[in-house]
A and B are shown apart, each in its own frame.
Chain A
Amino acid sequence: MNHFETGVIDLAYLRDNGFLPSEERQRKGPVAVIECIQEIPCNPCVSACKFDAIGMDGINGIPHVDFAKCTGCMSCLKVCPGLAIFIQDKSKVKPSVTVPYEYLPLPVRGGTVTLLGRDGASLGSATVKFVLAADTMSRSSLIAVEFDDSTLCEQVRNIRVG
């Protein structure tokens, strides 16, 4: 499997193994996508979820999102040590993705940033929808970006300021 050589997770693998919500679900509202496909001893996302939407078989299990229960509330994004959780939302006029972000400078709301894919390559630019700055030492800042092309939702996983 290619992703273990490059670190770039294969989109087809995610699609074929139930890691991505359906188009229909995405059009209903924001939803979490957990790109954690390897058995590692880690579970804070499970207890962070107030809706019991993340299932895991033991601490070394792989997290699976019950997309029907998930509300896209972002609680899991803030605690995930792997920064491996993203929110996709195709329910609004402008589709959006929310990513965890731990670099400086933080982008500003309404500003323009470069969208990056899983391999760090540019996917064009977008407007910053909101910035949730880190609230304590243990949290990550969350950045939501909105754009026109809804197919980008599955691809945007990082941003570059400027």
Chain B
Amino acid sequence: MDDNRIATHPILTWDRGTPVRVTYDGRQITAYPRETVAMALYAAGVKQYSTSSRFYRPRGMFCAIGKCSSCMMRVDGIPNTRTCVLQVQDGMDVETQHGDGKFPDVQAAMKGVKEKNAEVLVVGGGPAGLEASLWAAKAGADVILLDQNPQLGGQLVKQTHKFFGSAKENAGTRGITIAKKLIEEVVATPSITVYSGFTAFGWFQGAVCAADQDHAVLFQPRKVIVATGAAEKMLMFRNNDMPGVFGAGAAQTLMNVYGIKPGNKVLMVGAGNVGLIVSYQLMQAGIEVVGVVEGAPRVGGYLVHASKIARNGVRIMTRHTVLEAVGSDHVEAAIVAEVDEKWQPIPGTEQRVECDTICLSAGLKPSTELLEQAKLDLAYTGELGGWVAKRNWAMRTSNPDIFAAGDASGVEEASTAMMEGKIAGLQAAYDLGHTDVPVEEQKETRYNLDDLRAGPFGAKICIGLKCVEVLE
């Protein structure tokens, strides 16, 4: 049987524990306790998780962080299970899902809904949510933190590179080190209660309903901070749903959280910071990056990131796009072509690039589902990735009890997300009358945040913010 697990890595180590037994379509696969179902299957060489409901096309994972539903399978008889966020258990029975799932036994599936009061409810345990929880708690509030992944940290736990930004904040420190510190602090704070594996899915007259595989809880919060992050955008090309085409973030999840090789030959699409950084991380995991394709005439991310991979021999192909994924049930190659000034492929420039994985890093879209359900004033702001909530300088939205922070409030990066989370967490606590942290701390953070955005790379963000930072 295949084992795509990474043995040695220059930055990371994995404590996998003792294998558990998982059955996949009737055969045994090796899985480790901390792995999710989708990750364990991928490590065993399984790339297809379901067939689509209309045309029965093979489908694999896409986001690997519980957002896109591409990895849904039947687990212990329950269909539509997002296998990328569900941890394996000994004796688990996993089946490929063909088409729509059949609803299982209603009585067995619904075990009753509990109710829970909360002062501050933080949805999302990434950089923004962790900081929001910590600072709301420091100011004196009781906090409940929900996160749909088996472990806290969001995308921060995948950032093996050293952070940019200000030395006053965390620059020069690896994202994984910052994540570890924040998570330890959250866990050690008695006034923060963490619900891991809980997805917040519904807004009911000020209450938020969340559930894991076995329980549902209706939270009655006084203030809510939505820090649900963002999801990778899909690109339009032939066979873009083929297993082996997935977000660059999914590649990071596979290799940097679980120590599993996303592929052996990877084509990266998009030369923004995510595409460049993940390309570098792929090479650190011993994986060949066959090229980076970018539609724009120049690299969109930091030049230093591009230089880092260029000096390792990776070809960056600006003014190029991907036209097609080639293969039958998984990627075997990609067809790429040059584009003109209007981003239209130039006929005759098509070339076949051999690869087994196509990683997309064509930008992110804020995850605003909860904010939409709460009927907040949103504005479409291309500079920030799509629809985002209007708010004041302290991240308070058009509903004074709801705050947004991090990528969910506009796509930027982890350093700014942490600062936004801190500002929102403090404001939520202040609004409840908790003032254990002086307001100068919040003001200074906002000042440093503006300072970070003051350069050319922040210019686009500032244009976007002008449209949405409009409330008093």
Which of A's residues lie within 8 Å of B, judged by CB?
3-9, 35-44, 46-48, 58-60, 79-84, 102-104, 106, 116-121, 134, 137-138, 140-141, 157-158
Contacts and interface: CB of A to CB of B under 8 A. Distances in A.
A120 B314 contact: yes
Contacts of B161: 81
Given A38-B303, A103-B284, A104-B10, A81 B163 contact: yes
B311 A5 contact: no
A9 B310 CA distance: 9
A44 B318 contact: no
Contacts of B286: 104
A6 B171 CA distance: 26
Given A5-B299, A137-B177, A83 B172 contact: no
B174 interface: yes
B311 A158 contact: yes
B283 A137 contact: no
B304 A41 contact: no
B451 interface: yes
Given A5-B318, A42-B165, A81-B172, A157 B302 contact: no
Nearest to A61: B455
Interface size class on chain B is: 35 or more
Contact of B164 (A81, A118, A119): A81
Q: Count chain A CB atoms within 10 A of each CB in B9, B283, B307 and give the residue with the most.
A: B307
Contacts of B299: 4-5, 7
Nearest to B281: A102
Interface string B76-116: 00000000000000000000000000000000000000000
Nearest to A9: B307
B11 A137 contact: yes
Contact of A41 (B303, B318, B457): B457
B308 interface: yes
Given A42-B164, A81-B162, A7 B457 contact: no
Interface of B: 8-11, 161-167, 171-174, 176-177, 276, 283-284, 286, 297-299, 302-314, 316, 318, 451-458
Contacts of B455: 39-41, 58-60
Given A41-B457, A44-B167, 18 more contacts: A7-B316, A8-B311, A41-B164, A41-B165, A41-B452, A41-B455, A43-B165, A48-B172, A60-B454, A80-B172, A81-B161, A82-B304, A102-B10, A102-B284, A103-B283, A116-B311, A119-B311, A119-B313
8 contacts: A5-B318, A7-B309, A37-B303, A38-B302, A47-B167, A58-B454, A102-B284, A104-B286
Nearest to B311: A158
Nearest to A35: B307
A35 B307 CA distance: 9
Nearest to B298: A4
B310 to A, nearest CB: 4
B171 A138 contact: no
A137 B311 contact: no
Q: Count chain A CB atoms within 10 A of each CB in B167, B171, B303 and give the residue with the most.
A: B303
Contacts of B172: 44, 48, 79-81, 138
B275 to A, nearest CB: 12
Contacts of A40: 164, 302, 304, 455, 457
A35 B308 CA distance: 11
A119 B177 CA distance: 31
Contacts of B11: 102, 137
B314 to A, nearest CB: 7
Nearest to A3: B303
Q: Count chain A CB atoms within 10 A of each CB in B174, B306, B452 and give the residue with the most.
A: B306
B201 to A, nearest CB: 36
Contacts of A59: 165-166, 451-452, 454-455
A6 B164 contact: no
A118 B311 contact: yes
Contacts of A36: 304
A138 B178 CA distance: 10
Q: Would you list the 7 A-B pairs with minimal beta carbon distance, nearest first?
A: A60-B455, A82-B304, A7-B306, A120-B313, A44-B172, A7-B310, A81-B162
A39 B347 CA distance: 37
A58 to B, nearest CB: 7
Contact of B171 (A42, A103, A106): A42
